[in-house]
């Protein structure tokens, strides 16, 4: 069976599975729509949470970033997984004990203010909408390559699939769909990694293969990779960092508290029956996430090695990388390169007219590298590879079977669609439950609220699709913006709401607005993007000239500190929280008896 037919079968079967689950688990009440009736088992909730979290950024982009950044990519692994530790220890049990549906509802009730609820909704919408742009872009990339359609058509198809299972199924349908999507994406990620690790090192465990020796040699994979990339003018793979130590620290913390503050992740802990289940499901989510996250460094490193080996035969032989016959003939380049060239994410330009592909860092400051390149007649780097294709192209680079390539296609789409659905539900519930029911029409019937939720979901899908088709100028910085807003607004408000019983509404609102303003200003002022110069990750725009060298991706930590400081000062200068609110906070923090929460804090 040819590759394209195999891809159609795998992707089509996965879509049929998602739609079938949605029909089976359709929501019949607001509780089903918002929190799946709070009846999800902690293990299955952990699996759904993992799928909700492991978006196109985790599945498609993370290994590509690690491949380009090397050691510096560890900030994503530490930050994103660390966020779940914070969730499990500091937020999930207490929010579940509160017994309501959404984050803005907690903030509105805890700070006894519709103003606080509205500010929380604004922060949630800004973070979620900017984040969902990346998911729709990931859907477009995967569709354009694997299904032979334009990225625009891919986004339309993705919108239709999400509409079918999210609007009708709500959180109940999304939860069980995400469980299926997790199974698809984790097999799609790990099976190619196992194949590639066996091919390169003879070890079936990629996590161990990365640190092992190349097959038939006594040379470690990482040491050979370091030698190759430095000889070609790139930074050493195992030591490259993401800026200064201060920036790495702030970047990691921002990712951690940003993860702990993302509303589509937090809402998953309202779906379990008991308080203890919230913490348990966070632990299970960490286990399921760790399977992919511990594999990602191996995928990134091995993909980088295979890519260099593909275009330069001396990589495997240990010969002269600059020898004329070492570079691959352009006419003889493999089919996978030609297929990705059609997407525009891989580009080749024969600058010196020798009919071969030279892949090196022509922007290096290493004079020895430039001298070797000039002596060999090279006139600049001729291959540009977008980091986002690393995972999707990995099985093709390694010449794996067609069914593995098709599985990766289905996995990439599952990752993007699962997170998009979670984000869209967070957007929908903030509009229907927090604004319409919580502020404008508190007496709305359950039936009408459910209808409003489905209409809001449909509207959110259309908006997400539009932004995916017409990304705003700041689209490249959307991850920085989403994490920065969650880190600087939602996370501090939740922490102070749970652990500072005297924090009042004035302080909370002032803190959220201050954190939001600081992060928006910094991200937009510095664009907040990764950029590639030639073929190598260089730095973050604004990273070296910003506030103490802190990148926009790490500025969420500063925003959080500003939030805490402003909230504390303003609360001290104004009337403390009412006594009944202080008792409510104590009731959340200090369990009295066992059993499921009722949501009644009278």
Percent of the chain residues past pLDDT 90, beyond the cut = 27
Write the pLDDT tens digit of every residue in 447-469: 888 888 888 888 888 888 888 78
pLDDT the model gives residue 409: 81
In a domain, 366, yes or no: no
Residue 177 has which token pair?
A: 């769909």
> What is the residue-averaged pLDDT of the chain?
82
Residue 38 has which token pair?
A: 């709070």
In a domain, 446, yes or no: yes
Residue 535 has pLDDT above 70, yes or no: no
Q: Which of 225-229, 420-424, 527-531, 590-594 has the highest mean pLDDT?
A: 225-229
In a domain, 474, yes or no: yes
DSSP-assigned beta bridge partners for residue 105: none
For residues 18 and 164, give the distance between their C-alpha atoms in angstroms, rounded to a whole number. Answer: 9
Among the residue ranges 197-201, 215-219, 388-392, the one predicted with the least confidence is: 388-392
Among the residue ranges 134-138, 195-199, 371-375, the one predicted with the least confidence is: 134-138
In a domain, 497, yes or no: yes
In a domain, 56, yes or no: yes
In a domain, 211, yes or no: yes
SS3 content of the chain, % helix, strand, coil (to 5): 70, 5, 25
DSSP-assigned beta bridge partners for residue 533: 536
Residue 314 has which token pair?
A: 């001396």
Residue 583 has pLDDT above 60, yes or no: yes
Residue 540 has pLDDT above 60, yes or no: no
536-540/530-533 β-pairing: antiparallel
- State mean pLDDT over 212-241: 88
In a domain, 548, yes or no: yes
pLDDT the model gives residue 270: 81
**Residue 136 is part of which domain span?**
42-303+396-589
For residues 326 and 313, give the distance between their C-alpha atoms in angstroms, rounded to a whole number. Answer: 5
* Residue bearing the bigger pLDDT, 224 or 127: 224
pLDDT the model gives residue 273: 86
Number of domains making up the chain:
1
Torsion sign (Cα): 472, 163, 45, 192: negative
Residue 34 has pLDDT above 80, yes or no: no
pTM above 0.85, yes or no: no
Look up tokens 């652990």; give the residue.
499
Residue 593 has pLDDT above 60, yes or no: no
- We report the CATH number of the domain holding residue 289 as 1.20.1730.10
HEC states along 173-242? HHHHHHHHHHHHHHHHHHHHHHHHHHHHHCCCCHHHHCCCECCCCCCEHHHHHHHHHHHCCCCCCCCCCC
In a domain, 496, yes or no: yes
- State mean pLDDT over 491-507: 94
The set of residues, in sequence order, having a beta carbon less than 8 Å from that of 55 and lying 6+ positions away, is 131, 134, 135, 138, 415, 416, 418, 419, 420
Per-residue confidence band for 329, with pLDDT thresholds at 50, 70 and 90? very high
Kindly list the distances between the CA atom of residue 270 and the CA atoms of 33, 555, 599, in Å, as whole numbers in the listed order. 12, 29, 11
Are 310 and 397 a contacting pair, CB within 8 Å? Answer: yes
Are 134 and 481 a contacting pair, CB within 8 Å? Answer: no
For residues 377 and 361, give the distance between their C-alpha atoms in angstroms, rounded to a whole number. Answer: 15
pLDDT the model gives residue 57: 67
């Amino acid at each position: 069976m040819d590759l394209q037919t195999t891809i159609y079968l795998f992707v089509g079967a996965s879509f049929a599975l998602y739609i079938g689950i949605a029909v089976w688990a359709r929501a019949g009440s607001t509780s089903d729509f918002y929190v799946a009736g709070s009846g999800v088992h902690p293990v299955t909730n952990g699996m759904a949470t993992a799928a909700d979290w492991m978006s196109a950024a985790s599945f498609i982009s993370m290994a590509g970033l690690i491949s380009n950044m090397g050691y510096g990519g560890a900030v994503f692994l530490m930050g994103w997984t660390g966020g779940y530790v914070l969730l499990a220890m500091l937020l999930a049990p207490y929010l579940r004990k509160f017994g309501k549906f959404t984050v803005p509802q907690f903030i509105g009730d805890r700070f006894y203010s519709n103003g606080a609820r509205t500010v929380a909704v604004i922060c949630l919408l800004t973070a979620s909408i900017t984040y969902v742009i990346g998911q729709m872009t990931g859907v477009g990339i995967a569709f354009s390559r694997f299904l032979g359609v334009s990225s625009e058509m891919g986004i339309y198809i993705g919108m239709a699939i999400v509409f079918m299972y999210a609007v009708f199924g709500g959180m109940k349908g999304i939860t069980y769909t995400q469980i299926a999507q997790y199974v698809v994406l984790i097999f799609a990620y790990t099976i190619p990694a196992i194949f590639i690790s066996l091919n390169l090192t003879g070890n079936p465990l990629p996590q161990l293969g990365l640190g092992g020796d190349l097959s038939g040699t006594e040379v470690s994979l990482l040491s050979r990779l370091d030698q190759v990339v430095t000889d070609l003018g790139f930074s050493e793979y195992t030591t490259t960092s993401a800026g200064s130590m201060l920036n790495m620290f702030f970047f990691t913390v921002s990712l951690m508290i940003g993860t702990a503050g993302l509303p589509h992740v937090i809402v998953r802990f309202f779906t379990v029956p008991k308080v203890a289940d919230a913490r348990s499901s966070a632990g299970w989510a960490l286990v399921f996430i760790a399977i992919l996250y511990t594999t990602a460094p191996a995928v990134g490193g091995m993909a980088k090695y295979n890519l260099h080996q593909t275009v330069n035969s001396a990589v495997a032989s240990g010969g002269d990388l600059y020898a004329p016959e070492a570079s691959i003939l352009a006419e003889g380049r493999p089919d996978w390169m030609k297929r990705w060239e059609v997407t525009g994410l891989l580009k080749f330009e024969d600058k010196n007219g020798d009919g071969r592909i030279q892949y090196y860092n022509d922007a290096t400051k290493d004079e020895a590298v430039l001298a070797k390149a000039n002596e060999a007649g090279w006139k600049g780097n001729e291959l540009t590879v977008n980091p986002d294709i690393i995972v999707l192209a990995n099985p093709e680079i390694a010449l794996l079977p067609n069914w593995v390539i098709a599985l990766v296609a289905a996995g990439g789409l599952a990752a993007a669609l699962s997170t998009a659905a979670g984000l869209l539900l967070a957007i929908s519930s903030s509009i229907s439950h927090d604004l319409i029911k919580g502020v404008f029409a508190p007496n709305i019937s359950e039936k009408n609220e459910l209808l409003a939720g489905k209409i809001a979901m449909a509207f959110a899908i259309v908006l997400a699709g539009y932004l995916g088709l017409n990304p705003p100028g700041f689209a490249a910085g959307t991850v920085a913006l989403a994490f920065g807003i969650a880190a600087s607004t939602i996370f501090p408000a939740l922490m102070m709401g749970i652990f500072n019983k005297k924090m009042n509404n004035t302080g909370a609102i002032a803190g959220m607005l201050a954190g939001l303003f600081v992060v928006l200003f910094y991200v937009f002022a510095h664009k907040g993007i990764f950029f590639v110069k030639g073929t190598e990750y260089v730095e973050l725009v604004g990273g070296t000239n910003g506030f103490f060298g802190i990148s926009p991706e790490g500025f969420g930590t500063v925003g959080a500190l500003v939030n805490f400081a402003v909230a504390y000062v303003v609360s001290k200068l104004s009337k403390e929280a009412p006594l009944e609110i202080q008792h409510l906070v104590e009731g959340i923090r200090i369990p009295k008896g066992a059993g499921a929460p009722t949501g009644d804090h009278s």
